Structure 1
């Protein structure tokens, strides 16, 4: 099978197409013939040598795919060969075939484009497991998400609307601001022109008259730590899922204690299989019906052939994308820009 390898840590040009043996599957796994794969920041970090795969995982990058089931493990029930699926992975998505624990599969309805489906498993699992699972967000609360135009951001806006949560996002351009508003964001802050802490306290007014975000989902890390804590209201919860702005920062514990603010950091990829299955099960129950009905939809900036993986990584690094960048592994399907690309 064709697959992408990382020849050495470095820039996008180290991504190379090679021939690899088709992987075997465990009794609780299925073999998925990959149609498309999502490109995520974790893939970029792995390519750069900063984010090794979990123990036992393949070195082939790729944390989410769409495709069809080609083979069933001996213990798998409820699925059949030929089923259209999307899947959350620990790695291996940039390849023509990938083994997947059956519990990490989501069914792709005929109404959903199979290419676009590849852009859903990782973002929906990340958003739901963090704002619901970690932060216990409640209907009517205020959620702040940095990077509103990203794959995570565009998913978070839709998930928030589905859950009855009010959402404000930060963006770096007028183009992204307009798109986020059209997607349903209650408020948008251009961080290049405005102090997001000040604006959050103006926007996020709680029923008791206090101000500040109830939950913040943060991809920036160290650079925003102090500001994020200031932007939280009493009993606010900050969940850090990325370190685009660095990994080290100082914080006065006193700023957390009296207003009962909390800070948590988490990753999805390194979680044990059992936790990933539990997360996908929650996504299937709580969010997937909205995907099937069209209430939550994949936002795809661009889909490129597997052979242009380096171009896909460059597009994500440049940050001009709105929504997901995908790789089409089945190159018999034409790589196109989504009509949603702006």
Structure 2
């Protein structure tokens, strides 16, 4: 099969097509002929040598796929060959075939293409486990989403609105802010021209849940604007994980400051998230109330160009590689 290898830590140019053996499914696994694979920021970090795959995972990047099951491992019973699924994988998604444990796979929601389905797992798993499991977002609460035009951000906006939250977001241009509003956000702030903390304070908007992938000096401002009993969830540190902040609001407002990663969790932990999504979110996708936003697709062999686009931050929504 053709797969994309990271030939050395570095820029997008180190991603190159190679020929590898088709993997063989083990116990509880299914082999998927990949039609499309989502591109995510962790893939970029892995390419740079900053985010190695967990033990036992393939070196090939790629954390989410959609395609057709072509073989079953021993004991795999949830699906049959020929079924169309999308799945969260610990690696190996940038390839024509990939393995996934059946418990971390989901049926493609009715009405969605395989390209659209490939844009679901990483972002929907991440948003659900952080915003709804850890932060316990409730209807009527204010959700502040940083990086609202990213794959994670657009998903958080859609899910927040679908479950009754008031959604405020930050984005890096007026165009991106408009896109966030079109997705359903109630208010969008261009962080390049405005201080989001000052704007929220002026408008008396006190977020109950804050989803932050930026870190750095955002942390201090998050603490300042958060409502009483707010929950702040960190999922990345694009501006750095070392910073100074005034932590007094943590005590005075009885805040919860937490965070998580997804890739290193066990199959069982990811399966719990998958079942919650299948029960509560997949029906919204099947009836058209939710739909992933895809910015651009690239052939698998052009993974380097896809990474260059992601690092430019010009995209709004997801970037997808097509393998079939």
Shorter-normalised TM-score: what interval?
over 0.9
Once the two structures are superposed, what CA deviation does each residue of 1:114-160 show, in whole Å capped at 9, x if it has no partner?
A: 11111011111111110111111111100000111111111111101
Q: Does the 8 Å contact 1:220/1:242 carry over to 2?
A: yes
Q: Does the 8 Å contact 1:112/1:292 carry over to 2?
A: yes
Separation (CA, whole Å) in 2 of partners of 1:231 and 1:26: 49
Equivalent residues, number: 324
Alpha-carbon shift at residue 247 of structure 1 (Å):
1.5
Alpha-carbon shift at residue 204 of structure 1 (Å):
5.6
SS state at 2:211 partner: strand
Give 2:161's aligned residue. 161
Pick closer, same or farther for the CA change 1:203–1:267 going to 2, 3 Å: farther
Pick closer, same or farther for the CA change 1:199–1:69 going to 2, 3 Å: same
Determine if the alignment matches structure 1 residue 272 to structure 2 residue 266: yes
Alpha-carbon shift at residue 163 of structure 1 (Å):
0.8
Q: Does the 8 Å contact 1:201/1:213 carry over to 2?
A: no
Once the two structures are superposed, what CA deviation does each residue of 1:159-200 show, in whole Å capped at 9, x if it has no partner?
A: 011111110010111111111111110111111121101222
Give 1:75's aligned residue. 75
> TM-score, normalised on structure 2?
0.97
Separation (CA, whole Å) in 1 of partners of 2:204 and 2:37: 36
Q: Does the 8 Å contact 1:187/1:203 carry over to 2?
A: no
> TM-score, normalised on structure 1?
0.92
Q: Does the 8 Å contact 2:211/2:232 carry over to 1?
A: yes
Pick closer, same or farther for the CA change 1:150–1:308 going to 2, 3 Å: same
Q: Does the 8 Å contact 1:84/1:109 carry over to 2?
A: no
Determine if the alignment matches structure 1 residue 115 to structure 2 residue 115: yes
SS state at 1:50 partner: coil
Give 1:147's aligned residue. 147
Q: Does the 8 Å contact 2:217/2:245 carry over to 1?
A: no
Separation (CA, whole Å) in 2 of partners of 1:269 and 1:92: 12
For structure 1, the residue ranges without an aligned partner over 5 or more in a row are 206-211, 331-342
Alpha-carbon shift at residue 226 of structure 1 (Å):
0.7
Give 1:234's aligned residue. 228
Alpha-carbon shift at residue 34 of structure 1 (Å):
0.3
Separation (CA, whole Å) in 2 of partners of 1:272 and 1:20: 26
Q: Does the 8 Å contact 2:235/2:261 carry over to 1?
A: yes
Give 1:324's aligned residue. 318
Aligned ranges for residues 1-342 of structure 1 at < 5 Å?
1-203=1-203, 205=205, 212-330=206-324
The root-mean-square deviation of aligned C-alpha atoms, in Å, is 1.2
